[in-house]
Amino acid sequence: MTPDVERIVRTNPDAVMVSTYAQGDVATQKLNSLGLPVIYNNEWTETHPLARAEWIRFVGLFFGCEQQADSIFAEVVNAYNKLSSQALQRAERRTIMSGNNFRGTWYMPAGSTYMGVLFHDAGADYAFADDTSHFSIPLGIETVIQRFAQADVWVGCPASSLAELKQMDEKHTWFKSYQNRDVYNFAKRTTPQGGNDFWETGVVHPEYILSDLIEALYPTGRQFYFTEHLK
C-alpha cells in the first residue's frame, strides 16, 4: 500500500504496473511526475471470477504473449465451467455461510460479489444469493444467527482450528456448521509473513477455488488446494 518509490526508480523500469485502491494515490502521482509510465491492473474490481482471471490477457500484451495468455485463459474457462455445470446439476443444495464475528459486525458477501458468484457456481444455497449489490453486507450477530444458524457449511473463517474459532468468540459455537465440524478456511497456502496464495494463484485459477468450495459442500475425498478443514 506504500511502495518505496525511490527503490522502484533505481531499478530503471520500462513501466510500473500498479493496483489502485484510491483515486490519485501519492505513490502513483510521484511515479508519473518522474516520467515513469504507470499501468493500472485493477482485476480486483471484477465481480466474476473468470473476469478477474481474464486480466492475464491484458498482462500478456506487455510481453508479446497474447496467444499464450489466450490459451491459458481458455483452459481456465473450460475447467471452471465444467466444474460449475456439474455442481449446478445437483438436486441437493447444501447451505453455506462465511466470515466471522469481528467486534460485533459480521461481513457476508452479497450474491453479486466475487465470493457470492463462487458460492452460486459451486451449487450452494446461499441466503444472500439474490442480493445484487457488489459489496460485503455488514450484519449484527443476531441477524447472522437468525439467517445462518442452520447453515451446513462455513467457509472463509479466519481461524486455524475449531478451538481457536471458539476462543475468538463463544458465539461461533452456536452454529450447526461448527457443531458438525463443517468449518473451513482458505489458509492452506499461507506464508509465515501472512501472504496468502488464495489471492495470488487464485486470481488466475478460480477453478481451484471453485473445486475447493464444491469439495467442502459435497465431500468426495478430493484434496484441497487453498482450503483447510478445521479440526
Q: Is the pLDDT of residue 227 over 90?
A: yes
How many domains is the chain partitioned into structurally? 2
124 within a domain of the structure (yes/no): yes
Tell me the per-residue pLDDT of 4-49, one tens digit each, with 9 for 90 and over. 899 999 999 999 998 877 656 788 888 889 999 999 899 999 999 9
Task: Residue 194: give its domain's CATH number.
Answer: 3.40.50.1980
pLDDT at site 19: 83
CA distance 94 to 83: 16
- Are 11 and 117 within one domain? no
107 within a domain of the structure (yes/no): yes
114 within a domain of the structure (yes/no): yes
| pLDDT > 90: percent of the chain | 84
* pTM for the model: 0.93
Largest CA distance in the chain: 59
Residue 80 falls in which region: left (phi positive, over 0), alpha (psi -120 to 50) or beta: alpha
CA dihedral 64, 66, 69, 75 (to 10 degrees): -150
47 within a domain of the structure (yes/no): no
pLDDT at site 24: 64
Contacts of 138 (CB under 8 A, 6+ apart): 105, 106, 107
CA–CA distances in Å: residue 8 to residues 43, 74, 139, 179, 193: 22, 34, 41, 50, 22
- Are 26 and 109 within one domain? no
- Are 13 and 116 within one domain? no
Domain extent at residue 121: 96-229
170 within a domain of the structure (yes/no): yes
3-17, 54-68, 119-133, 179-193: least confidently modelled range = 3-17
- Are 116 and 223 within one domain? yes
Tell me the per-residue pLDDT of 171-224, one tens digit each, with 9 for 90 and over. 999 999 999 999 999 999 999 998 999 999 999 999 999 999 999 999 999 999
- Are 135 and 203 within one domain? yes
Better-scored residue on pLDDT, 100 or 108: 108
104 within a domain of the structure (yes/no): yes
